[in-house]
Amino acid sequence: MNLVSLCNLNHGFLPNKSTDLFVKPRFTSRGDVITRLPLFYSKARKNLNAKTSKNLRVGPIFLKSYEDTAKVYQEEEIPKAKLIWRAIKLPIYSVALIPLTVGASLAYLETGLFLARRYATLILSSILIITWLNLSNDVYDFDTGADKNKKESVVNLVGSRGGALAAAITSLVLGVSGLAWTSLLASNIRAILLLASAILCGYVYQCPPFRLSYQGLGEPLCFAAFGPFATTAFYLLLGSSSEMRHLPLSSRVFSSSLLVGFTTSLILFCSHFHQVDGDLAVGKFSPLVRLGTERGAFVVKWTIRLLYSMLFFFGLTKILPLPCTLMCFLTLPVGNWVSSYVEKHHKENEKIFMAKYYCVRLHALFGVALSLGFVIAR
């Protein structure tokens, strides 16, 4: 009976010999008794502790019983403050800053002007437009059920679809007002048309009845909106003054907007890696739903290679100034890091979730390097 009670049935451990069952007392010089536990008992305790610490990790836990049929899931309790931080998506607002800053540096290269007040108005308006995009995206994904299990969804956090939609519309109206006022101040009709096209891309991307993101067209729309449309429009607005109303639309402007568009759409593409199952369940056919995560990782790798190949070509043909090419190539280790991370973790939802934020870093660093290159070239 003592033998049975001391055996660890879960681990299949038995004492090496029957004498191990007996505790042999040992005496100190003062006559105190030191009790020595059996060797097999300490080993079993160590094994059990290791098993217990392993089961403390978040994830599926399998209960080792005779039938081995019980399965229990532990759900990670995410603090509300962390959910709010995720809902705000502060790093994503770099997509408002980078097209504007690249456009401003291009205008500075051409004119030597930096219109600080106009830049400040445009950055505030752009932030409001991005806020509209984020809020309305949560509202319409809530309607289709795509965000049903998304804890950081604004609608799920505040518990009010109407409140989130009202905030989205308010942000859109204020943002458009700021952009329109600046465009009228600059008297540049081309900039107004380009900005209107960028906002239209955002609308058909997610709003009914279009919802083109559900057809896998989100990335092309994102590329056009933040690249050729927004970057070129900001260049025109920040270079227009009483002395110069119309700036040239050169190959330099177009190539810079292509680079900005590539890094921006890469963020959107990588944001879908951990949502493939949920998107498929509601009929949202994002590129990753169509391709799968393994092919998606291949696309990320070759998109980054194409980005730096384009940079090399633009520098070699002197479309971009030499300082721009050199500064942007300094971000190559970040690009390689993003590519290898996605390739390694594309099947692990809890890790690939961070891929979009790593793409944000690449986007921000690449845009800042491009802008600094234009300023240095001046």
pLDDT value of position 258: 96
Q: How many CA atoms lie within 13 A of 32 on its CB side?
A: 4
- Pick 105 or 239 by higher pLDDT: 105
124: number of Cβ within 10 Å: 14
Residue identified by tokens 């770099």 is: 94
- Pick 241 or 239 by higher pLDDT: 239
Residue 120 has pLDDT above 60, yes or no: yes
189: number of Cβ within 10 Å: 12
| 266 contact partners, CB below 8 Å, separation of at least 6 | 300, 303, 304, 307, 359, 362, 363
Q: Which two structure tokens, joined as six digits, stand for 349? A: 């939802």
CB 362 within 8 A of CB 263: yes
Q: List pLDDT tens digits, range 283-302.
A: 889 999 999 999 999 999 99
What mean pLDDT comes out for the span 72-79? 51
The residue type found at 96 is A
Q: Which two structure tokens, joined as six digits, stand for 250? A: 């050169």
Angle at 102 between CA 97 and CA 104, to 5 degrees: 95
Residue identified by tokens 């721009």 is: 324
Q: Which two structure tokens, joined as six digits, stand for 122? A: 């445009």
Q: Which two structure tokens, joined as six digits, stand for 253? A: 């402007």
- Pick 78 or 330 by higher pLDDT: 330
Residue 210 has pLDDT above 80, yes or no: yes
- Rounded to 10 deg, the angle between the 189-206 and 161-186 helix axes is 160
pLDDT value of position 241: 63
- DSSP state letter for 38: P
Q: Which two structure tokens, joined as six digits, stand for 186? A: 């600059």
Q: List pLDDT tens digits, range 16-61.
A: 444 444 444 444 444 444 444 444 444 444 454 444 444 444 444 3
In whole angstroms, what is the distance from residue 286 CA to residue 280 CA? Answer: 8
Q: How many CA atoms lie within 13 A of 162 on its CB side?
A: 0
CA–chain centroid gap for 253, Å, is 27
The residue type found at 97 is L
Confidence of residue 74 (pLDDT cuts 50, 70, 90): very low
- DSSP state letter for 274: G
Name the average pLDDT for the chain.
Answer: 80
pLDDT value of position 151: 66
CB 96 within 8 A of CB 126: yes
pLDDT value of position 67: 35
Strands 33-35 and 59-62: unpaired
Confidence of residue 112 (pLDDT cuts 50, 70, 90): confident
In whole angstroms, what is the distance from residue 117 CA to residue 309 CA? Answer: 36
pTM of the predicted model, to two decimals? 0.76
Residue identified by tokens 């859109």 is: 172
> For the chain, where are the E strands, in sequence order?
25-27, 33-35, 59-62, 71-74
Confidence of residue 305 (pLDDT cuts 50, 70, 90): very high
